[in-house]
Structure 1
């Protein structure tokens, strides 16, 4: 399966390519373009790919412009941090919509769906139409994210509002730390489970061991090795969180959305 990538952040594109190689080595990346103009030139000189991975916000506009210029039949998997584009995204042959940072399990499911639909191309329009109708309902416009967690401390259960959480961390057990530095054990096996319940506009998976809330970030320091170091607001300012160089571009996009 040949795939084309629309992504204006080089390191984010490389991270996606690495994830694809891990998830499905049979996928061949035939090109990476970072602008609308670049994509239009690519389609003028090349045959349509089997699959497109598309960020919505490119360096010179939105990728929907590309689909208005070219009537493409191949499915599109959008990889972006912009929730508000979801409904329009599915109207242009999209088979999935993955929020950044893209999780490998969700990427694997999206690819499996693309392969399945490519064998039954006639069903794609019907499936997408049903998805558009589902996304158009009031309940779909605002995802139901977790509003509070039940923390364990000193043989007691304590309900904690999500607005009071600074970060989640893994240290043998999963912990929730509040903005006032209270620390609670959570009854979840993995951080992946916790991450799936959180609003991605407010919480970012900084590493395998930490999920941070945007409200808890005081500032971000650049480091010589192109990593980033998060300085949290007091009283959590002593807890250091590093962002790898590969994650730095997607983190910056999340921070400024």
Structure 2
């Protein structure tokens, strides 16, 4: 078995729960999607516990790369903080799903499902095995169906009214944060950080565009390709070199955020500069 999750605390929790289950051997761990592809190819595990949202490659992209390279496909359990609608989509191509934070009973149930599926997919003789290309086609079809369902969910989310709260992951907890409390959000190496006056954590969104779809467009502004700011939490506009500006926010660190040249006019319009 292999565990892939970018959160060390989540991996530790899952290791603890799995090690107390009979007959389980964890042969490797990874912290991102790029590592996951290499580790799975090297170890060829029967089962992978795969986080959905990770820097670099997400869980779906990992499976796609394995399929495209004709690598042996393990049984997959998704670990996710997604809502029930998305979870149903994961079941198209997964043994099971686990919602964070993990529950011992749910983990045991998942292991039993995985064992049954592995046993069912192991032919008693080589003659009973289906052709490899048949397996690849079936797996690809399932993954395509999964991706279509997730895309449908994303489309539905982009056309609904913004929610007053957003989820922020902090210290292995899922916090519901009021939008008005958010000072700014930033993206680096594929991970989105959200900062409030009292909390710093990560968003479950994959892109800043996806996060912006959840936020009030009258309050939140994409000041830079890597930053979204709450205009109510701008403490100071700081003139910078060559007619550019920085925004000093009112978070505890008084973070300074650059304004891109393309957004300078919007800044001047906002504050009558």
TM bin (shorter chain):
0.3 to 0.5
Q: If each structure's strand is expressed as a fraction of its own residues, which one has the higher value?
A: 1
Which structure has the larger Rg over C-alpha atoms? Answer: 2
| TM-score of the two chains, using structure 2 as the length reference | 0.44
